[in-house]
């Protein structure tokens, strides 16, 4: 599976975990040069607190486009060290 923005591959892996309809990539698949930390967080009742990254590609910045659960609750342990892309922000995941 790949995550692509304007022809640039942001992440690619065959090791995908699907949770709530979202593909979670392993952290090792993240092309670090296209991500910067965001201070944004959200809370999911069964997964825990999510942290976010912005995607930066040249002059194009997509705020809070990627998230992960750094310390997921036990029932969401399969997404530890994984991240997912927010739908509807222009990043194609297929």
Backbone CA torsion sign across 6, 65, 28, 56: positive
Q: Which conformational region is residue 89 in: left (phi greater than 0), alpha (psi within -120 to 50 degrees), or beta?
A: alpha
Domain that holds residue 18: 2-93
DSSP readout, 33-94?
Answer: GGEEEEEEEEEETTTEEEEEEEEEETTEEEEEEEEE-SS--GGGGGGTTEEEEPTTSS-EE-
| pLDDT tens by residue, 51-75 | 999 999 999 999 999 999 999 999 9
Look at the chain and report how many structural domains it folds into: 1
The answer to whether residue 87 scores a pLDDT higher than 90 is: no
Q: In which band, very low, low, confident or very high, does the pLDDT at 27 lie, cut at 50, 70 and 90?
A: very high
Q: Which CATH number goes with the domain that contains 63?
A: 2.170.150.40
Predicted TM-score of the model (pTM): 0.95
């Amino acid at each position: 599976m790949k995550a692509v923005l304007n022809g640039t591959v942001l992440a690619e892996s065959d090791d995908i975990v699907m949770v709530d309809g979202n593909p979670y990539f392993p952290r090792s698949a993240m092309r670090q040069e296209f991500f910067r930390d965001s201070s944004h967080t959200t809370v999911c009742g069964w997964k825990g607190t999510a942290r976010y990254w912005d995607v930066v590609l040249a002059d194009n910045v997509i705020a809070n486009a990627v998230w992960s659960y750094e310390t997921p609750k036990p029932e969401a342990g399969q997404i530890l060290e994984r991240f997912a892309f927010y739908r509807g922000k222009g990043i194609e995941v297929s």
